Amino acid sequence: MNNEEFLSRQTNDPSFENIWQEMQWRGLIQVSTDEAKLEEALSGDPINYYCGFDPTAASLHLGHLVQLLVLRRLQLAGHHPVALVGGATGLIGDPRQTSERSLNTRDTVEGWVDSLRSQIEHYLSFDGDNGATMVNNLDWTGGLSALDFLRDIGKHFRVGTMVRKEIVASRLDSDEGISYTEFSYQVLQGMDFMELYRRHNVTLQTGGSDQWGNLTSGTELVRKVEGEHVHAIGTPLITNADGTKFGKSEGNAIWLNPEMCSPYTFYQFWLNTADADVVERLKVFTFLSRAEIAEYEQKVVDEPFRREAQRRLAWEVTSLVHGEDQTQRAIDASAALFGRGDLESIDVTTLHAAGAELPSAEQSDLGERMTIIDLLVATGLEKSKSSARRTVGDGGAYLNNTKIEDPEHIFTATDALHNKYFVVRRGRRNLGFIDLDSASN
């Protein structure tokens, strides 16, 4: 199944009067410009709209996925998406709440632009009347001189307004302050909206509500320069009900790039969604209809132990990002490793395939003496021997589903499953895999 085929199976829910209503229901609109006018615009003839993605890493993450899905939902409603990659803004970096960013080199950013671009293409259709358009804001800023920038663009921005933007104000208020570079970011993003309005008649920008200051910077500029009222939608920040940060697993970001986050890890992330969050996640991250989601909502209440909502969520999102084949492999691996059955009873082929999905190590990564400490560190489950020792002391170390309490005990191939595999576990659900065979051949 190619990508266009996969995309063609996605639909908006026809039970909604229009896409605005559906997005409201899915909780995708935290703030926006004039609601009534926006709803009208989105219910009428196709409009052109955009969302920007800055290359600040080699891959997009789950926060970006929300935006990509918003783009896709609007495209399904007949509108024309423009996906912007921030080749220019990525060189500057938008101000973060916490601290000043360190600048990345031009080469690095250029490389990230390419990888982001290919990731974005996966989520939008490029066929038909409203096929997506890709742009890079370096195209209109790269050749712009500082003087032209200050005269033509800067003149439209009031420092008083810029300083009052929430993110700028809070940074000014912090110990660290803010550099002129990051302070200027909002001007660049405002300029993007104006350029896209001129070049592609773009009249709506979507983005995270944390970007609201930058979004309105664009609508204001277009109004001042072009005399046109254009729109902006800010999506809510996705948060976990228990107050932890969404989109992190073991402190690592969940990336969309399979090299940086395996489909297995990705699947597990979604499967571990809390009951309190799962319905909201289904609304935001899947194309399931209102009726279907209502059914899952009931199941969470009636039979939470079945975790059907979580399973469906994990299936849908993993398939969307990694494809159905990869998802099925992640499920098979999960079933083998978390299943009730004895690990001994799993056949070699299944075990081998499951192991491939886990962080793994080979004989060559290990010394002669294999203790549980060595195995935990070799698989990356623990980052130091001290830490591994603590875990053993806590009673959280397992080898082939057996708790290991002696940190000095030496294991050999005869302890391994089928004489060659070790399944190492830290805690309830962090697994690693060791294949003793792969070193010998």
Partner RNA sequence: GGCAGAUUACCCAAGCGGCCAACGGGGGCUGACUGUAAAUCAGCUGGCAUUGCCUUCACAGGUUCGAAUCCUGUAUCUGCCA
Tally the residues of the chain.
Answer: 441
Q: Is 305 in the site for RNA (CB under 7 A)?
A: yes
Place of tokens 């009900």: 241
Closest distance to RNA from the beta carbon of 277 (Å): 8
Reduced to 3 states (helix: H, G, I; strand: E, B; else coil), residue 7 is helix
Q: Given phi > 0 = left and psi -120 to 50 = alpha, else beta, which region is 184?
A: alpha
Which one of 139, 395, 402, 410 is in contact with RNA (CB under 7 A)? Answer: 395
Number of residues that bind RNA (CB under 7 A): 42
* Alpha-carbon dihedral 92, 174, 249, 395, rounded to 10 degrees: 140
Site string for RNA, 216-245 (x = CB under 7 A): --------------------------xxx-
Closest distance to RNA from the beta carbon of 177 (Å): 1
Q: Is 307 in the site for RNA (CB under 7 A)?
A: yes
Q: What's the helix, strand, coil split of the chain in %, to 5? A: 50, 15, 35
Q: Considering beta carbons, is residue 124 or 309 the nearer one to RNA? A: 309
Q: Is 252 in the site for RNA (CB under 7 A)?
A: no
Q: Of the listed pieces 51-59, 283-291, 330-338, 433-441, which binds RNA according to CB under 7 A?
A: 330-338
Are 364 and 437 in contact, with CB atoms under 8 Å apart? Answer: no
Give the integer Cα–Cα distance in Å for 278 and 269.
12
Q: Is 250 in the site for RNA (CB under 7 A)?
A: yes
Contact partners, residue 424, CB within 8 Å, separation at least 6: 372, 375, 376, 379, 381, 397, 398, 399, 431, 432, 433, 434
Which one of 144, 236, 396, 418 is in contact with RNA (CB under 7 A)? Answer: 396
Q: Of the listed pieces 220-228, 287-295, 349-357, 376-384, which binds RNA according to CB under 7 A?
A: 376-384
Q: Considering beta carbons, is residue 235 or 265 the nearer one to RNA? A: 265
The residues in 340-369 that bind RNA, with binding defined as CB under 7 A, are none
Q: Is 271 in the site for RNA (CB under 7 A)?
A: yes
**Maximum CA extent, the chain:** 78
Question: Which amino acid does the sequence have at 252?
Answer: N
How big is the chain by its Cα radius of gyration, in Å? Answer: 25
Contact partners, residue 63, CB within 8 Å, separation at least 6: 208, 238, 247
Q: Considering beta carbons, is residue 210 or 357 the nearer one to RNA? A: 357
Which one of 163, 237, 274, 348 is in contact with RNA (CB under 7 A)? Answer: 274
Which one of 276, 294, 348, 353 is in contact with RNA (CB under 7 A)? Answer: 276
Closest distance to RNA from the beta carbon of 4 (Å): 31
Are 76 and 125 in contact, with CB atoms under 8 Å apart? Answer: no
Q: Of the listed pieces 20-28, 129-137, 284-292, 393-401, which binds RNA according to CB under 7 A?
A: 393-401
Q: Of the listed pieces 27-35, 201-209, 269-277, 356-364, which binds RNA according to CB under 7 A?
A: 269-277
The residues in 200-219 that bind RNA, with binding defined as CB under 7 A, are none
Give the integer Cα–Cα distance in Å for 219 and 210.
16
Q: Of the listed pieces 52-60, 89-97, 142-150, 428-436, which binds RNA according to CB under 7 A?
A: 428-436
Give the integer Cα–Cα distance in Å for 43 and 54.
29
Contact partners, residue 189, CB within 8 Å, separation at least 6: 52, 89, 94, 211, 214, 215, 217, 218
Closest distance to RNA from the beta carbon of 220 (Å): 26
Closest distance to RNA from the beta carbon of 184 (Å): 15
Count H helices and E strands in the chain, helices first. 21, 15
Site string for RNA, 142-181 (x = CB under 7 A): ------------------------------x--xxxxx--
Count of C-beta atoms within a 10 Å radius of residue 360: 20
Q: Is 334 in the site for RNA (CB under 7 A)?
A: yes
Q: Which residues here bind RNA, judged by CB under 7 A?
A: 172, 175-179, 242-244, 250-251, 268, 271-276, 304-305, 307, 310, 334-335, 338, 377, 383-387, 389-391, 394-396, 426-430
